[in-house]
């Protein structure tokens, strides 16, 4: 299965991606996670990406496309993959199409997790993440068992720097201007599927399983 997850920041893509990747045994490829790992390791890519991310802007297309093509070229992606947070621009979507075409592959579906704007701010400002293993929680909707500590590895949870109210608003504008047009892009290719992302995590996953079962 080759899946793209679409949706605004805070829609629940990362949360559902983890569940889908476990269920279908396919790698979860999050460009945001790749950038954050590079930032914590202070690589040249991380140093370049940090300025854009902290301000809620997109990392330039050429850099982002290159890291995704490198990742998709790895052996574990032969059986399928789940892209979370990529593509985010029409240029990225076109580059992905031509990369897959040249390898005789195609996307099975671009799955939109539909969440209206009024839900987003609370989801993002309440998000807490584990800096060690990347697990993600929400102070109200998906709390860890021990407050402030990761269930999986026990590390202290942190708030992402780009999850402050001001940066979230910027990221939503970037989404509206640059990423939202991809909904039409994949619809034109008859690749778009949608789920309502306003239910709880289990309900959304059930809907996603139903949609993927029919693809």
DSSP state of 108: S
Nearest-angstrom CA–CA distance, 195 and 199? 10
Count of residues in contact with ligand ADP, rule CB under 6 A:
21
Q: Catalytic: 127? A: yes
Residue carrying the six token digits 């299965």: 1
Task: For Cα atoms 26, 30, 36, give the angle at the middle one, nearest 5 degrees.
Answer: 140
Q: Choose the binding region for ligand ADP from 4-12, 44-52, 93-101, 165-173 (rule: CB under 6 A).
A: 4-12
What are the structure tokens assigned to 22, written together?
């476990």
Which listed option, ligand ADP, ligand AMP, none, makes contact with residue 142 (CB within 5 to 8 Å by class)?
A: ligand ADP
Place of tokens 């099975």: 108
71 is in an annotated binding site: no
Position of minimal CB gap to ligand AMP: 32
Classify burial at 104, counting beta carbons within 10 Å of its beta carbon; exposed 0-12, middle 13-18, buried 19 or more: exposed
Cβ neighbours, 10 Å, residue 136: 16
Segment interacting with ligand AMP, rule: CB under 6 A, options 56-64, 112-120, 142-150, 206-214: 56-64
Residue 144 interacting partner from ligand AMP, ligand ADP, none (CB closer than 5 to 8 Å by kind):
none
Per-residue contact track with ligand AMP, 13 to 32, x per CB under 6 A? Answer: ------------------xx
Interface with ligand ADP, residue 88, by CB under 6 A = no
Q: Which of 2, 13, 18, 123 is catalytic?
A: 13
Look at residue 39 and give the partner it binds from ligand ADP, ligand AMP, none, a contact being a CB closer than 5 to 8 Å depending on partner kind: none
d(CA 29, CA 184) in angstroms, rounded, equals 23
Contact between 35 and 45 under an 8 Å Cβ cutoff? The reply is yes
Binding positions for ligand AMP, rule: CB under 6 A: 9, 31-32, 35, 52-53, 56-59, 64, 85-86, 88, 92, 162, 171
Catalytic residue ranges: 13, 88, 127, 160, 171
């Amino acid at each position: 299965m080759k899946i793209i997850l679409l949706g605004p920041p805070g829609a629940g893509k990362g949360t559902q991606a983890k569940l889908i990747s476990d269920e279908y045994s396919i790698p979860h490829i999050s460009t945001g996670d790749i950038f954050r790992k590079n930032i914590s390791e202070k690589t040249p890519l991380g140093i370049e990406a940090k300025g854009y991310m902290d301000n809620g802007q997109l990392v330039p297309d050429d850099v982002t496309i290159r890291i995704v093509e490198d990742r998709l070229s790895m052996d574990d992606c032969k059986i399928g993959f789940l892209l979370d947070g990529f593509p985010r621009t029409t240029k990225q979507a076109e580059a992905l199409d031509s990369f897959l075409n040249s390898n005789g592959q195609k996307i099975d579906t671009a799955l939109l997790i539909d969440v209206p704007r009024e839900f987003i701010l609370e989801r993002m400002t309440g998000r807490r993440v584990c800096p060690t293993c990347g697990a993600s929680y929400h102070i109200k909707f998906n709390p860890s068992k021990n407050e402030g500590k990761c269930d999986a590895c026990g590390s202290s949870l942190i708030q992402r720097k780009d999850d402050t109210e001001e940066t979230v608003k910027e990221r939503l504008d970037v989404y509206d201007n640059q990423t939202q047009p991809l909904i039409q892009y994949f619809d034109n290719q008859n690749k778009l599927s949608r789920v309502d992302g306003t239910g709880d995590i289990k309900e959304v996953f059930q809907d996603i399983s139903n949609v993927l079962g029919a693809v």
